[in-house]
Amino acid sequence: MAADETEVDGVKGDSEQGLGSRAPEFIKARRVLHLSWQVGIFIIGLAIVVVGIIMLPLPGPGWVVIFGGMAVWATEFVWAQLVLRWTKRKVTEAAQKALDPKVRRRNIILTSIGLVIIAVLVGIYVWKFGIVMPWKIKDQ
């Protein structure tokens, strides 16, 4: 095994899987069938990524869907496999950094300050304009 390869209980880790197509062997053996397979995978992945992009400004898990489309592409294309590995590495680094006690303390302090500022602004608004319930609004 290479230095960056992992094996847990006999199962190869993601970093050990080779790059390239994960299509079944009978598909890889026929050039036209393999090319058709790649086109199909590309179109399915593209559709998923486009749906994710549409979901970004709308309610929905846009980024999760985009990464799902990238995962579909990664079953067939080396460039997508490399992008997915890089993304996984960066997300893991960010998660480890976020769990650092100093960073957590800073985030808690900043969140608390933000909540206090919002509470003060809401208090000022209510003091100045009051609260009018929707059922008590006069017809104008």
What's the pLDDT at 136? 67
The answer to whether residues 68 and 48 touch, using CB atoms and an 8 Å cutoff, is yes
For 44-82, the three-class secondary structure string (H helix, E strand, C coil) is HHHHHHHHHHHHCCCCCCHHHHHHHHHHHHHCCCHHHHH
Given a cut of 50, whether residue 10 has pLDDT beyond it is no
Query: For the residues 94-99, what does the mean pLDDT come to?
Result: 84
Residue-range domain boundaries for the chain: 7-99
Q: Return the closest-CA partner of residue 80 out of 91, 67, 61.
A: 67
Mean pLDDT estimate for the chain: 81
What's the pLDDT at 2? 45
Element (H, E) at 25: helix 25-28
CA-CA distance, 40 to 37, in Å (whole number)?
Answer: 5
User: What digits encode the pLDDT tens for the residues 112-129?
Assistant: 999 999 999 999 999 888
This model's pTM is above 0.75 = no
Q: How confident is the model at residue 17 (pLDDT cuts 50, 70, 90)?
A: low
Q: Which amino acid is at 92?
A: T
CA-CA distance, 77 to 73, in Å (whole number)?
Answer: 6
Write down the number of H helices and E strands in the chain.
5, 2
Query: For the residues 103-109, what does the mean pLDDT come to?
Result: 88
CA-CA distance, 46 to 69, in Å (whole number)?
Answer: 7
User: What digits encode the pLDDT tens for the residues 57-85?
Assistant: 988 888 899 989 998 998 888 888 898 89
